[in-house]
Structures are given as C-alpha cells and as structure tokens.
C-alpha cells in the first residue's frame, strides 16, 4: 500500500512539517488496563520534571503553528500534546489501546500533537488543509463536536471530496482505532521552524513502537515537506 500526505494549497506559507507514519498487520487493539512500560517511563519522567518536561518554547511554537484566523490554540482548543502533559502531571493519563497509547506516548515525550487513524476507514491518501466555515465533526462517544474553521486538519478522501478526520486538538470518531483495526496511519505535527532531525527521530520511534508494542508486520514513516 502506498501512503501519501498532500499539503493543501491554502497552507501558504505552510506552518507545519508533518511526519506520516504507518503500520500494517497489527494485533487486535484491546482496551488498555495497565500502562505499558514505555508509557509509564515517559509519564514518570514528566512528573519528575514538571511542566518544563515539554519546554515552554516548544509549547509556544506548537500553539503558533495552530493559531490562524478565528482559531486560537488555548482553553479547550489547546493542542492535544498540552492536554497529555497536564494529564500526566495530574496522574490522570488516558489509557486507550495499543496504537493510541503509542501515539500519546510519543506526543507527550516530543511535545508534538499527533493523530492516528484506522487506515481501513481513512485510506492511505490524506490531505492537510485549513478548516472551512461550517465544518465540524463528532470527537467523542457523547456526540460532542468541534468547530473546525481555520484549524489545521487532516482529511480523508470520500466520494471524490476531502472530509476532515483529524487535527492536532481532537480527532474524529469516524476513523478512530477499534478492536477490528489491522492497519493504521498517523500524523505527527511539527512546527515548520522545528528540527527535521528531531522530527525524523520521533517518527522512527513511533514506527518502532507500533512494531514492538502493537505487533505490526510492516511499518514506515516519511517527513512531508511542503
């Protein structure tokens, strides 16, 4: 399967350098009852260090990456990486399932928000663009929605159109990982002024964990330059 991530024409100058990561043939994702060792290690290190586990400059650059038009990366709209840091410091870190736990561990450790999708639903061809007026999607089991206008989005192709399915704040319910998921594709969002070498290292670690923790038969990653 060929994995592609396009950068939309409306992202100029592009504020993000995304890493595309994928894995095929993972084991059935079951609900996580106990944090795996790699996640426990990251959480404990964050608790030991405190808020500066993710340096304030990294958090500022990630917020700046998202700030555009009517969208302000604060309050309930803060990046998922900040939510995870806060959850770790409060000892309330969410445990979900193997692939999502990998995503959250990498996001917490790097300070970069990430999205992960069931490739069987999202497809392997994705697009990054801005949210348009009136766009929204449901992001949890309670049916809550998020307004997507001006937000940085990942979209999947459906019936010839690009439908939003993820963003650096909250992903859509439509493409979330479930127990029948066998292939996954993820996006790690790095500010355009961030280090390519560091992003490559995090993408490689992400792919490695999808193999070692989720039993993936095949993994890969790619840094997508605008």
Residues 99-139 have pLDDT tens digits of 999 999 999 999 999 999 999 999 999 999 999 999 999 99
pLDDT at 75: 80
Encode pLDDT of 166-194 as tens digits: 999 999 999 999 999 999 999 999 999 99
Tell me the mean pLDDT in the region 152-173: 96
pLDDT at 90: 97
Confidence of residue 38 (pLDDT cuts 50, 70, 90): very high
Residue 160 dihedral angles phi and psi, to the nearest 5°: 80, 0
Confidence of residue 199 (pLDDT cuts 50, 70, 90): very high
Structure tokens that stand for 95 in this block: 């445990």
Query: Among 33, 32, 29, which Cα is nearest to 176's?
Result: 29
Query: Which is more confident, 76 or 78?
Result: 78
pLDDT at 121: 97
Structure tokens that stand for 181 in this block: 């998921």
Domain enclosing residue 157, as ranges: 4-223
Tell me the mean pLDDT in the region 70-90: 92
pLDDT at 12: 86
Residue 211 confidence (pLDDT) above 90: yes
pTM: 0.96
Question: CB burial class (10 A; 0-12, 13-18, 19+) of residue 49?
Answer: exposed
Encode pLDDT of 82-91 as tens digits: 999 999 999 9
Residue 158 confidence (pLDDT) above 90: yes
Count of the separate structural domains present in the chain: 1
Query: Among 86, 156, 90, which Cα is nearest to 127's?
Result: 156
Residue 226 confidence (pLDDT) above 90: no
Q: Identify the CATH number of the domain in which residue 174 sits.
A: 3.50.40.10
Query: Among 18, 16, 111, which Cα is nearest to 67's?
Result: 16
Tell me the mean pLDDT in the region 76-97: 96
């Amino acid at each position: 399967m060929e994995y592609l991530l396009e950068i939309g024409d409306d992202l100029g100058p592009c504020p993000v350098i995304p890493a595309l990561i994928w894995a095929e043939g993972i084991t059935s994702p079951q609900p996580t009852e106990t944090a795996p060792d790699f996640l426990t290690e990251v959480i404990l290190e964050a608790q030991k260090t405190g808020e500066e586990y993710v340096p304030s400059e990294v958090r500022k650059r990630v917020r700046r990456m998202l700030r555009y038009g009517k969208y302000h990366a604060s309050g309930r709209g803060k990046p998922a990486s900040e939510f995870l840091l806060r959850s770790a410091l409060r000892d309330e870190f969410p445990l979900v399932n193997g692939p999502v736990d990998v995503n959250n561990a990498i996001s917490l450790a790097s300070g970069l928000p990430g999205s992960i999708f069931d490739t069987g639903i999202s497809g392997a061809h994705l697009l990054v663009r801005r949210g348009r007026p009136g766009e929204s999607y449901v992001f949890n089991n309670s049916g809550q929605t998020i307004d997507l206008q001006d937000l940085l989005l990942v979209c999947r192709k459906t019936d010839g159109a690009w439908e939003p399915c993820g963003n650096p704040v909250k992903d859509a319910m439509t493409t979330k990982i479930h127990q029948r998921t066998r292939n996954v594709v993820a996006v790690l969002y790095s500010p355009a002024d961030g280090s390519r070498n560091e992003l490559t290292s995090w993408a490689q670690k992400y792919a490695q964990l999808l193999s070692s923790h989720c039993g993936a038969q095949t993994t890969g990653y790619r840094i997508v330059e605008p």
